[in-house]
Amino acid sequence: MSERVIAIEGGYKLNGTVRISGAKNATVALIPATVLSDEPVEIYGVPEISDVKALAILLKELNCEVSVEGDKVTIDPTHMKDLPLVSDAVNKLRASYYFMGVLLGKYKRVKIKMPGGCYLGPRPIDLHLKGFEALGAKITYEDDTYILEADELIGNRIYLDFASVGATINILFAAVKAKGKTVIENAAKEPEIIDVANLLTKMGAKIRGVGTDTITIEGVEHLHGTFHEIIPDRIEAGTFLVIAAAAGEKVLIQNIIPQHLEALISKLKEMGVEMEVIGDSIIVYGGRAPLHHVNIKTQTYPGFATDLQQPLTTLLTQAEGDSQVKETIYAERFKHCEQLNKMGANIELEEATSIIHGATPLHGARVEATDLRCGAALVIAGLIATGKTEITNIYHIDRGYDNIDHKLITLGAHITRYEIDD
Ligand code: EPZ
Expressed in angstroms and rounded, the spacing between residue 359 Cα and the centre of ligand 1 is 31
The pLDDT value recorded for residue 124 is: 84
Which tens digit of pLDDT belongs to each residue from 131-178?
Answer: 999 999 999 988 888 999 999 999 999 999 999 999 999 999 999 999
> Does the pLDDT at position 407 exceed 60?
yes
> Does the pLDDT at position 122 exceed 70?
no
Residues 131-134: contacts with CB under 8 Å, at least 24 apart: 131/158, 131/160, 131/167, 131/170, 131/171, 131/174, 131/184, 132/100, 132/101, 132/104, 132/170, 132/171, 132/174, 134/158
Which tens digit of pLDDT belongs to each residue from 49-103?
Answer: 999 999 999 999 999 999 999 999 999 999 999 999 999 888 888 899 999 999 9
**Which residue, by CA, sits nearest to atom 28 of ligand 1?**
307
CB 358 within 8 A of CB 334: no
For residue 219, give the 3-state DSSP assignment: coil
The pLDDT value recorded for residue 117 is: 45
Burial class from Cβ neighbours inside 10 Å (0-12, 13-18, 19+) for residue 349 reads middle
Which tens digit of pLDDT belongs to each residue from 177-204?
Answer: 999 999 999 999 999 999 999 999 999 9
Atom nearest to 235 CA in ligand 1? 29
**Which residue, by CA, sits nearest to atom 44 of ligand 1?**
164
CB half-sphere exposure, 413, CA atoms < 13 A: 33
The pLDDT value recorded for residue 121 is: 52
Mean pLDDT of 388-400: 96
The pLDDT value recorded for residue 92 is: 81
Atom nearest to 93 CA in ligand 1? 15
Which tens digit of pLDDT belongs to each residue from 7-29?
Answer: 999 999 999 999 999 999 999 99
- Alpha carbon 6 to its chain centroid, in Å, reads 21
* Catalytic (active-site) positions: 118
Q: Which residues line ligand 1 (CB under 6 A)?
A: 24-25, 28, 95, 118, 120, 122-128, 162, 164-167, 188, 235, 306-307, 329-330, 372-373, 400
CB half-sphere exposure, 264, CA atoms < 13 A: 31
- Alpha carbon 286 to its chain centroid, in Å, reads 26
Least confident of 14-23, 116-125, 367-376: 116-125
Burial class from Cβ neighbours inside 10 Å (0-12, 13-18, 19+) for residue 9 reads middle
Mean pLDDT of 364-372: 97
Expressed in angstroms and rounded, the spacing between residue 394 Cα and the centre of ligand 1 is 21
Expressed in angstroms and rounded, the spacing between residue 165 Cα and the centre of ligand 1 is 6
Expressed in angstroms and rounded, the spacing between residue 127 Cα and the centre of ligand 1 is 11
Other CB atoms within 10 Å distance of the CB of residue 351: 7
* Backbone dihedral angles phi then psi of residue 409, each to the nearest 5 degrees: -60, -40
Cα(105)–Cα(38) distance, rounded to whole angstroms?
12
**Which residue, by CA, sits nearest to atom 21 of ligand 1?**
307
**Which residue, by CA, sits nearest to atom 30 of ligand 1?**
124
> Does the pLDDT at position 113 exceed 90?
no
